[in-house]
Chain A
Amino acid sequence: MAALEEEFTLSTGVLSAGPEGFLGVEQSDKADQFLVTDSGRTVVLYKVSDQKPLGSWSVKQGQTITCPAVCNFQTGEYIVVHDQKVLRIWNNEDVNLDKVFKATLSAEVHRIHSVQKTEPLVLFQRGAVRGLEALLAEPQQNIEAVIPDEEVIKWSEFFMVFKQPVLIFITEKHGNYFAYVQLCKSHSLSKYTLLLGKEEKSVKPNFTARVDGKFISLVSLSSDGCIYETLIPIYSSDTEKNHRLIRALMLKAVVSGAARNGTALTILDQDHVAVLGPPLPASKECLSIWNVKFQTLQTSKELPQGTSGQLWYHGEILFMLHGKCLTVIPYKCEVSSLAGALGKLKHTQESDPHSMPHFVDWETCSGYDLGSYSADQSRTLRRKKIETNLQPEVPGSKQLLSIIKNDSEKHIEVELRKFLAKSTPDFHTKIGDVVAGLLGRCKAEPSFYPRNCLMQLIQTRVLSYSLCPGLMEIALEHTDVQMLQLCLQQFPDIPESTTCACLKLFLSIGDDCLRDININMESVFDYSDTIQDEKKEMKEQTEIVQNGFSPEDNSCSKDDQQLNKKPGDAAKETTSFPVTSCPVTPKRAALINAVLHSAYSEAFLLPHLKDIPAKHITLFLQYLYFLYLKCSGNATMTLPGISPPTLSQIMDWICLLLDANFTVVLMIPDAKRLLLNLYKFVKSQISVYSELNKIEVSFRELQKLNQDKSNRGLYSIEVLELF
């Protein structure tokens, strides 16, 4: 989620912001330090995190800086141009700009561009480009004119594309805009005509650009308030001059069309742009972050004191002139929030009613050295120490690790058992090391798969997915469903992609494969015995449904009848979809139940669910529907057995599957009846709940009536029999 962090301001005491704002804000070679050039005579180096200036330099009275100061990342020096032709180069130690290196050039400079890992480039006003080194070797060298006379450079940007410096600049001539792409190494220059809307003529559009593969994505904010994207090829295939480029609408009406100036935009990353400007004609200026991919406004910040219509973005920090102050807003784009990542918690049914409420003691959590341990605890610690001293023959984790690297599977197993028999204070980390060692060897030697060791380690209940990220992948490779089931049951933090991969495997694995595997079946009750009961339950179920809604107003009853009219179809459907018996074998059911129990976050699970083949989707849906029927069959809405899937888990998964694959399911004839049934159920549920709501209201009224009776008022006399 993209977010703007808390803003702060840099004091701009020595800087004089003209009506046009500042010339520029540029990165220096040290992180967190930025060069700010005002429109007059001053350059200031700021340390942003400290909110204070580190150095300030001014040119003489009468001189004007014409190009923002940049840093030469190769030498760490700063470069500025004043009076269009005079180049100054200095470093942090210099105090006076008059006394530093000076070079007078023969042509007027438009801008100096500097990025990391390459020498700065000087762009002259007539379109010529020179490297700084070459220029300084011969400052008075002749500078050719590249662009026609009346064209004026409006905007320029410099990229490194595959170690090749690329310069793009936009020129304007009588309201027409042209883009030039200069490949500095091959000295090839391509010219493009930008086709802008008719209305653009009067107002200067704002540009920003980003390299996107072999294209430069030029993003412009035009005066109608929309953002357009133009793709300019970096390496033009044909040499034919004057290509025309069509722009594409990217975002609609992000700023008010009426805003003549004070708008700016910058690309933040692949999906986000920052836009400065009033969102509505009458509103104050705003800094807004838009997600281009989803076309959503991520966050915005009002800037009531107005801005200069300039926005700089360097190293996750946005700079702008807000009122008289240079405002700094750190920008962060995190992948997701913590809550979103955690998602649904694992449902634990067996909560111990006698367990003591657990208070987190931060002090004892934070370490052993705090001395807040009670005498008791230190005594047990001491005892543990003694115990470890008594068993010197048990291998330490280091020895075990070396054994894992070289020895046979059998030997490892024996040593591991010894290691697990004792418990050390930092058991967690040692177990992690051991698993990492085992997995490392698994990866190195494909034939090495110490299944028993890994099972043992998982059963210690201290492992988690993040502690051994490769474990489940390896188990998936070996189609070791038993281990996967164990992992799903034990690990609290399995990523959704892995959960889904497990699900895919469980659904696709052949029944004959499953037959010989020993699987923990405690989450599955014996379906075959209860089929008779089920049928009875089914009957009751329909009766209950009848209470919930009347079939007369059921819109799908017609479809039902239609379905029934085609006896062949119906017969096929009933055979292909026998709801009353479990659609999967008990072993497979146990595996799927492990998936149902695992924790997930919907947003991350959905994309992976789409990858499951339609056949398996139907099977899974049938199984879920079957579980749902079993669940709703009894009064407590639970399934028999030890830790069966709960109703809410079943419902969540049905919803998720349908969300992810609705169009697919819709197309499968087998699933039609299933969908209809689900629809009926949902409908009946809604009507049941609405009836319950009505009952609740009547009960509340009754309660109110009762309360009125017990309300004593200011004074009353009551009869009280005490004992």
Chain B
Amino acid sequence: MPIFNLSSFSKRLKDKEWGIRCVAYNNQSNRLAVSRTDGTVEIYNLSANYFQEKFFPGHESRATEALCWAEGQRLFSAGLNGEILEYDLQALNIKYALDAFGGPIWSMAASPSGSQLVVGCEDGSVKLFEVTPEKIQFARNFDRQKSRILSLSWHPAGTHIAAGSIDYISVFDVKSGSIIRKMVLDRQHLGVTKSRCIVWGVAFLSDGTVISVDSVGKVQLWDSATGTLVKSHLIANADVQSIAVADQEDSFVVGTAEGTVFHFQLVSVTSSSSEKQWVRTKPFQHHTHDVRTVAHSPTALISGGTDTHLVIRPLMEKVEVKNYDAALRKITFPHRRLISCSKRRQLLLFQFAHHLELWRLGSTLATGKNGDTLPLSKNADHLLHLKTKGPENIICSCVSQCGSWIAYSTASRFFLYRLKYEHDNISLQRVSKMPAFLQSAVHILFSEDSRKLFVASNQGSLHILHLLEGSFKHLHTFQPQSGTVEAMCLLAVSPDGNWLAASGTSAGVHVYDLNHLKLHCTVPAYNFPVTALAIAPNTNNLVIAHSDQQVFEFSIPDKQYTDWSRAVQKQGFHQLWLQRDTPITHISFHPKRPMHILLHDAYMFCIIDKALPLPNDKTVLYNPLPPKNESDVFLRRTAHAFKISKIYKPLLFMDLLDERTLVAVERPLDDIIAQLPPPIKKKKFGT
């Protein structure tokens, strides 16, 4: 019965807004691109259990206003700095940035064929770009409008474009670039005339209907051939900010500033007639704040907004099998680790967008029984606040086990610091003259003895540096497999320093022999991306967690899966285990108990005891603490390998500091909400 002293850290992250600005769904690869208000772009793989498999760090001057996929799977973004960016989804960096010369860009849309892009600018210009295999090429300006172009939509045939501006919608002919129709909106809202009516979104349907959503709270359908208003739905007292139409054009979704998402469907007027009309069918209220963006995948409505949640709401009638995919998903936390820990000095390093914080954990002399909160003899100390230079966000960071090294990387620079501890003071010294190849890292890891630094660069190579007192030496670089440039996202090193495991976003896990500096073996490929990696002490078993909630144990010396892993695969995981909707982000081991694996996701942590029998679907997976008075027989019968605790949630990080101490970092949702701007007040039942 291990009893842990648990250092629980409720982190009040004074971070910048992390709200979602836009989403773009790619039907071909079933991936979703999400951009945040700080410019971060994340790629979610909807096929792989909604795992956030890639991300591009944000940039202070880059406020992304629009995202779109073109030419199949090329991702473009445009923002208020007036630039169009293309992302390299393999190397995880920005391929190029191109100034559109039209002031801030508010909107962007790719043509149905994907070969052209249009952007709408602050100065009222609509610019057409041709997508070439390597870059994009400016083609033409359309007729300049009076005010900024806030939304754009292509006709599915690619012949016309609808552009939403302030107070009116214009329809352009793509061939001539001239405006052929102008539709003026009514600024009235429930009898009150607003100073202006902003068209937040437009959608062009193949029958020539243009759907607009505006700041007055209306969803309006226009006939673009005659320029007349066909139908108007007043759905909100506040702005309707986003719209997305299904590919079949039989349903669309809009999001409002009140946090409501409305589903509209094309429904026959009567059961027999072929005449159809748009009907507001379902309202969803999954957000507390503005829904800034929506997307419509073939089977789900996707919405995101200021309240930082990405909500994926499956359409029940489209879901064929009633499995876990039919459940609502709410993604709030990043699917990667932002916290690292120095076990020896009991330090925690927190990574924020633009700074790092180093904290020393407190201590206690008291003891107690289960559930007690012990009096602190020393509180946690904020040791260091390290601000980055430049506008770029931090990609990754790490503190060494001895606590005397800190490394972090932004998109263009790599920083390494040496920390010295003198009683209560610490001194920080930057290690200068980083080599040219160390520009940007996707993952950084220190070896257990803090003498080696492993850096996964975004070019797919792995660098090994030997750390000396205040300087370093480049030992070796593992070049990527020939032909691939895929970046390695996760690293794990064995405690004895002999093995290094690295995994990319899609390819399998590679294990390198650090003594001989060569590739040792590759773990058999698996369909789903890796979410966490760790190598157990002594046995050198590599534990791999995948986004479909499978956990594998691979013996590095034997180059094969362990017997336990095979047994697990044979029996299968418990159904409830597979139905968790956040990935495992960290795995650790107990130094004295080789049979234990500790792992956690955002809502639970689990100790897997390999010695106990595996649970089957009939047993209760989550059985907190059995009552003391039960007989041994009962305990033995109900005990199984998965010991799950849900005390701390949302859980950002949990690790074992020593044999008897666990550290957990919680991020209470209330704190996040408290930092957001207040939502639009809604009247409830006469209060």
Contacts and interface: CB of A to CB of B under 8 A. Distances in A.
Interface of A: 6-8, 50-51, 301-302, 304, 359-367, 712-723
B8 A719 contact: no
B376 A716 contact: yes
Nearest to A713: B10
Given A366-B271, A367-B268, A715-B376, A720 B370 contact: yes
Given A362-B279, A717-B8, A718-B6, A6 B186 contact: yes
A719 B4 CA distance: 6
Interface of B: 1-12, 186, 188, 191-193, 228, 232, 250, 265, 267-268, 271-272, 279, 281, 316-317, 361-364, 367-374, 376, 379-380, 607, 625, 639, 643, 645, 647, 662
A367 B273 CA distance: 9
B523 to A, nearest CB: 30
A367 B228 CA distance: 30
Given A716-B373, A719-B371, A719-B372, 6 more contacts: A362-B265, A363-B267, A714-B10, A715-B376, A718-B371, A719-B5
A364 B271 CA distance: 10
A721 B376 contact: no
Given A359-B317, A362-B281, A367-B272, A721 B10 contact: no
A361 B268 CA distance: 12
A274 to B, nearest CB: 15
A720 B369 contact: no
Contacts of A6: 186, 188, 232
Contact of A361 (B228, B317, B371): B317
A365 B372 CA distance: 58
12 contacts: A6-B186, A362-B279, A363-B317, A714-B380, A715-B10, A715-B380, A717-B374, A717-B376, A718-B5, A719-B6, A720-B645, A722-B3
A7 B364 CA distance: 72
B658 to A, nearest CB: 13
A714 B317 contact: no
A367 B269 CA distance: 10
B200 to A, nearest CB: 20
B317 A720 contact: no
A718 B372 contact: yes
A245 to B, nearest CB: 38
A715 B3 contact: no
A50 B662 CA distance: 72
A7 B229 CA distance: 13
Contacts of B8: 712, 715-718
Contacts of B370: 719-721
Nearest to B267: A362
B316 A720 contact: no
Contact of A360 (B268, B281, B361): B281
B380 A720 contact: no
B644 to A, nearest CB: 9
Nearest to B598: A722
A323 to B, nearest CB: 11
B10 A50 contact: no
A367 B267 CA distance: 10
Given A715-B379, A715-B380, A720 B265 contact: no
Given A360-B281, A723-B625, A301 B191 contact: yes
Nearest to B4: A720
A559 to B, nearest CB: 35
Contacts of B279: 362
Given A362-B267, A363-B317, A366-B267, A718 B374 contact: yes
Contacts of A304: 193
Nearest to A368: B271
A723 B640 CA distance: 11
A7 B5 CA distance: 69
Contacts of B3: 719-722
Nearest to A723: B643
A712 B549 CA distance: 30
B212 to A, nearest CB: 15
A558 B64 CA distance: 77
A717 B364 contact: yes
Given A362-B265, A367-B268, A720 B1 contact: no
A718 B364 CA distance: 10
B316 A359 contact: yes
Contact of A714 (B12, B192, B645, B662): B12
